[in-house]
Every structure is written in C-alpha cells, then in structure tokens.
Amino acid sequence: MSNTVFSLFSGAGGCSLGFKQAGYSVLYASDIDEATGKSYSVNFPETQFEQADINKLDFRSLLSKVRIKEGELDILIGGPPCQGFSTAGARFWDDPRNELLKSYVKALRTIRPKWFLMENVEGLLTAKDGQYLFETAKALISLGYRIRIEKIYAQEFGVPQRRKRVLIVGNRLGKDFNFPEPTIKLNGKIFRNSDITLKHTIGELPEATASKDVELPYHIPPKDQFETYLRGTSCSIKEHFCPFMSETQLQRIMALSPGQTMKDMPEHLQHESFKKRANRRVMDGTPTEKRGGSPSGLKRLIINEPCLTITGAATREFIHPLYHRPLTIRECARIQTFPDDFNFHGNASEKIQQIGNAIPPLVARIFAEHIRDEYGFVGGILTNGGLIGYSVTKAEAMSPALKKTCILLDSLTTNLAQGKLAI
C-alpha cells in the first residue's frame, strides 16, 4: 500500500505532484481559490479536492470522509502563507492575521499525521523580529513533533531557478532527521551555476504563438534533462503564447541586453511605475500579495544561467533571453519543473499566480523520497517534541534581523530542557 498524504493550501498541486511522482497517494486536498481548485481537480482526479477556507474545515469529519483514522496519515503537506506583521508575545494567537496558522496547528492536532512538510517564503525567517517563526516552532513542538527549519535553495535540487524558500519538516515518531543532501552542491557562484540553465529548460521549445488557444505539437529530445517531468516522448504545448505588445512595450524590451533591467534603458523609455518600484524596499514579513512585482521591473534573462524566482509577475517582467517578448506561461511552468501535460485553469493572471506560488514538483519529490527511504513511517508515537536544528542562511555574515531569530530559536532548546515551553 502506498503512503498517504493530505495537502492543505494545496495550490494547483506542485507539492502534490512531487509526492505523487514518488509513489504516494494524495487522499485529500483543499484550497480556498476557485481557479486553483479547478487546476488541482483536473490534474489529480483521484484525489478528493475541496474548495474551502481552512478556518471552516472540520478535521474530524474530514478523517471520517476519507476513511482514515486519527494518527494514521503518513504526511501532511503544504503550509499557511505568512500574513505579515503579527502581534508578538501573549497575544500572538489572538491576532486575526494568524488565523491560518492557528487552523493549521489545529489540523495537525486533530489529524496527527506522522510527518508534516510546511513551506513558506523567505520573509518568514525575520517576520516580527523572528517572533512569528518562534511562535510557529513552539506550537509545532508542543504537539509532539521533532522539527527542523531550513532555508533551501531550489537550484541545489535541480530546479533551473534562483528560488529560496523556508521549509519546516517534522515528525512525531521520535526520529532525528536531516534534510536531503543537495543534488547540485553550490557555493560562491550559487546564482550563476551553468549546469541547470534556461537553455536546458526552455531552449528547445518552439517559438511562442500569438494566440492563447493554439496547441503546438512538440517532439521532446530523447535525452532532455526534464524528460522525467514531461512524461513521454511527444506531446502538445499549451499556454505557450505571447499577448499583443504595444510599440512602447516592444521598444523597452528591445532596449535590453541579457542581464539588463529597466535601469539600463534610455531614460525616455523608463515608466514612472518602474522608477517607483526600483527605489522601493520591501520590509521582511510583508505578505506576498502586498509585495508587488520585482523591484527591477523588466529584466532580460540570460540563456546560460538559471532563471530568477518565478512569481505571479514573471510573464510581465521576465524577458526571454533570445526573443523580444516576456516568458510564456508554459515556460514559467517548465522553470518550476511542471510537466508540459499539467493543465492550469483560470485566466492568464490566475494561471501564472498558481505557478509562481507552487512548490517546485522536483523539490517535493526529492523530499518525499528522502523521508520515505531514509526514515520511514514507523516509530514511537507522540514522543516529546523538539527542535532538531535550523539553518537560516548560507552567508558567512548574518543580518541583525536573522541574529534575533537565531536567539529566539536557541531559546527553544533551553526552555525545553528546563520544562518551560508554554503555548
């Protein structure tokens, strides 16, 4: 029997796909967004999907619905988005901005999965001077989970993209564990590694069409690096189109050489909104939906380098390294390691948002296989929780904000030893 998964905050299913590729059975998934739900249901017809607000879910009823008992689920995947600056200290759990996290903790308390994998943006590390992460870790530990917190670099796991995210992984089986070793060890030149590039990922795609309704027949090269994720040797390419561009838009794009941004454009082509964003600093902990687009505005990518982080703005701001147009939805999906036969539903804006919000399936698959093969799902139940370890940066120097976070995390171990962990 395959190992079992629930996915909360499932999105279109990037994490679910990785676990499915690793042989797991995703029994249940939920997300609040309608278009996202359609994407998920089409791609995972075997999974019971529910479009729902997690704050309104009855988790005991859910267990009965999917015919699984409390404590039997192997792993719960997906994590609540950080809702920005929240009240610290005693009032943390009363702050309405923390309702999603509160409901997530409730889900863990009720379902009691053997493992969980929780993903979030890098800003989680320093939100509210580390208090958000501290309170999150404290709650997870109080439920009996032994947890590890690390900032991971997706590029180190074969994703052709400079993507940094925070993962919190835990188990209540009493297992001390490590994260999987990177498949591509990077160091000083982490952002310009030449082994996983846009050339490998989108270089063989046919030129984009002008219409969103056209499907392009495409033969995948027999030794393509991403053959595993493309599932087969031939298919048709959907969502590989470029919307109409005005003369001014085209002039801006043509003015950029690989690696250049809107700052390098002639001044008469610089848009006022670009100038504002170029000088805007985003505070740590600001919710993703309030961050806006990339501060550099338009940027021409480099064919022999990995992509920048794919976000909901990628099809507006990332310019193809060779062609005078932005990236297509399908190119962004490939960069996130979604296969070409993965279908996204909704309008163009909703589709790219689903892609940008996803955990790259390749990363999810590597973690799914690592947990299953190295640690498994058998062990002592409801052991004392604890913080196994954390890693918040690769840099030799640490920012003052991260230092505050580390002090708080270190205090968890001290408080546990002294029996002072109170939620």
Residues 277 and 261 sit within 8 Å (Cβ to Cβ): no
Residue 106, token pair as written in the block: 């409730």
Number of helical (H) and strand (E) elements in the chain, helices listed first: 14, 12
Residues 41 and 26 sit within 8 Å (Cβ to Cβ): no
Residue 123, token pair as written in the block: 């800003």
Residues 92 and 131 sit within 8 Å (Cβ to Cβ): yes
User: Residue 245 CB: number of other CB atoms within 10 A?
Assistant: 14
- Return the amino acid letter for 138: K
Residues 121 and 133 sit within 8 Å (Cβ to Cβ): no
| Pure H helices in 25-77 | 34-43, 59-65
List the catalytic residues.
82
Residue 161 backbone phi and psi in degrees, to 5: -160, 140
Residues 69 and 379 sit within 8 Å (Cβ to Cβ): no
Residue 314 CA to residue 293 CA, distance in Å, equals 8
Q: Treating both helix axes as pointing N-terminal to C-terminal, what angle do 131-142 and 99-111 enclose, rounded to 10 degrees?
A: 20
Residue 160 CA to residue 200 CA, distance in Å, equals 8
The vertex-315 CA angle with 239 and 42, nearest 5°, equals: 40
Residue 343, token pair as written in the block: 């279908």
Residue 310's Cβ-count burial label (10 Å; 0-12, 13-18, 19+) is buried
Residue 1 CA to residue 266 CA, distance in Å, equals 62
Residue 350 CA to residue 98 CA, distance in Å, equals 25
User: Residue 385 CB: number of other CB atoms within 10 A?
Assistant: 24
Residues 147 and 97 sit within 8 Å (Cβ to Cβ): no
